Structure 1
Amino acid sequence: MLKLFITATDTDAGKTYAAQALAHAFVSKNKKVAVYKPISAGCERIHHDLVNEDALLLLAQSNCQQTITQVNPIAFEQPIAPHIAAAQLKQEINLTDIQEGYERITALETDIVICEGAGGWRLPLGQGKFLSEFVQASHQDVILVVNMKLGCLNHAVLTYQSIIADGLKCLGWIANCPEDMPYLTENISELTTLLPIPKLAVLPFDKDITKAAKRIDISLLTSLL
């Protein structure tokens, strides 16, 4: 089983978009794909349940008959830092709960589990804990999404170094290009030099996720199956 964790240089950096495209690409190759977004903030209350739009988008690309609660077990209504949202409700975000939810996903008959983080690599959970500790405990391989904007070179290198310092493998990076960035080509070229991992895709925003999926080179990843 290939276990992938999608992180990014910051929040709203394109993690969900990249994760959708990856899931679609694998499904198009007849792979069984399950998805997991353990924590979300910024949810709509539907029939007494908190439903996150990003989690729904991921669920739409999976093919393992999951429920939205399985995909996103920890959800908060306010679009704020999850540990602050939890504190306001006098709750705690527990690493054990996140791990147990993940184990239920990996117990499915699946070839690939795509797990999307929240925020950046060092998302605080409160009590001095970070979401990255869950990635370490579950031995996932990491894909880094770089939000192509001013400052991304520094953010990308620091995030990559942090992943490696945590003893994890970063399999590759994806350039997410939602806006017209000055000197975009030059910045992507510089990152290709700075990051000693493969560039898996350059993703300009496209509402058609099928087109985005076709832009991803998953040959390196499928070779691990």
Structure 2
Amino acid sequence: MPRTFFVTGTDTDAGKTFVTCAMLQVANKQGLKTLALKPVAAGSDDTPDGPRNDDALNLMSAMNVELGYSQVNPVLFEPPVAPHIAAQEEGRRVTVDRLTGFCRGALMTRHDLSFIEGAGGWRVPLNDREMLADLAREMNLPVILVVGMKLGCISHSLLTVESILQSGCHLAGWVANQIDPNMSRFQENVETLKRSINAPCLGVVPWCSDDQQTDAIASLDLSHLNI
């Protein structure tokens, strides 16, 4: 039976895509068929194939099941701003029902493990009534939280965990991802989070550049996900 997880972050630039790609690589090495979706993305570049989002392209490079770009990233906005603002500016409306349909359609492709990556943090608005977090709740997906390790991350993490649980979702695990190479008391912050978050830590990823993903892969342990 395929397992699907929703990946969220403590904030924008917490490293959701970097960590998700590393988790895909770990699963690939285990011989699993993997795929990942980025249902909503804001920020695109023009390519010969049309507008494309870097996060979605990175996910496509890391997974080993072939899907078309529009399946991986069905809703793409040009400006890198909050999705509900981009939608208003472009005269479009994005709903949880619509995203659920896109995701369920793509997930019909044969696979063993999949990740659905959010945009920004947990409570990002889609429209005037719905949050992207509602997609995880609607699809009954366990959540993986990527903690962007920087000053202030403890409060951001605990507030996000509280909101995830209040939404009725299950927190399957979390990853400490060092996004500030000069973070003071990094290990002490990690230990505080381990004591405070009632979910398994799937890994502590040290700061690394985009071309050092092997370090991130080596730092992850997905055994707690029972895949």
Aligned equivalents of 2:68 and 2:213: distance in 1? 21
1:190 is aligned, of 189, 192, 198, to 192
**What amino acid does structure 2 have at the position aligned with 1:184?**
F
1:213 is aligned, of 210, 213, 217, to 217
Kept in 2: contact 1:5–1:141 (CA 8 A)? yes
Deviation at 1:208, TM superposition (A): 2.8
1:33-112 mapped onto 2 (5 Å cutoff): 33-47=34-48, 49-112=50-113
Stretch moving more, 25-34 or 38-47: 38-47
Alignment-derived partner of residue 166 in structure 1: 167
Task: Classify 1:83/1:48 alpha carbon distance in 2 versus 1 (closer, same or farther; 3 Å).
Answer: farther
**What amino acid does structure 2 have at the position aligned with 1:68?**
Y
Deviation at 1:104, TM superposition (A): 1.4
Deviation at 1:116, TM superposition (A): 0.6
**What amino acid does structure 2 have at the position aligned with 1:120?**
G
Kept in 2: contact 1:24–1:210 (CA 8 A)? no
Alignment-derived partner of residue 147 in structure 1: 148
TM-score (norm 1): 0.96
Superposed CA offset, 1:96-132 (max 9, x none): 2211110112101001111110011011011221011
Alignment-derived partner of residue 131 in structure 1: 132
Aligned equivalents of 1:26 and 1:105: distance in 2? 19
Aligned equivalents of 1:208 and 1:44: distance in 2? 24
Gaps of 5+ in 1: none
Task: Classify 1:50/1:4 alpha carbon distance in 2 versus 1 (closer, same or farther; 3 Å).
Answer: same
Superposed structure 1 runs of 4+ greater than 6 Å apart: none
Secondary structure of 1:117's counterpart equals strand
Aligned equivalents of 1:61 and 1:2: distance in 2? 17
Aligned equivalents of 1:217 and 1:47: distance in 2? 38
Superposed CA offset, 1:47-68 (max 9, x none): 4722000100000011111111
Aligned equivalents of 2:80 and 2:107: distance in 1? 28
Q: How many residues align?
A: 223
Secondary structure of 2:214's counterpart equals helix
Aligned equivalents of 2:14 and 2:74: distance in 1? 22
Deviation at 1:46, TM superposition (A): 2.2
Q: Are 2:132 and 1:117 equivalent residues in the alignment?
A: no
Secondary structure of 1:20's counterpart equals helix
Kept in 2: contact 1:36–1:116 (CA 8 A)? yes
Identity %: 35
Secondary structure of 1:125's counterpart equals coil
Q: Are 2:209 and 1:199 equivalent residues in the alignment?
A: no
Task: Classify 1:48/1:111 alpha carbon distance in 2 versus 1 (closer, same or farther; 3 Å).
Answer: closer
Aligned equivalents of 1:184 and 1:59: distance in 2? 31
Gaps of 5+ in 2: none
Aligned equivalents of 1:104 and 1:132: distance in 2? 19
Aligned equivalents of 2:72 and 2:62: distance in 1? 12
Kept in 1: contact 2:16–2:117 (CA 8 A)? yes
Deviation at 1:18, TM superposition (A): 0.7
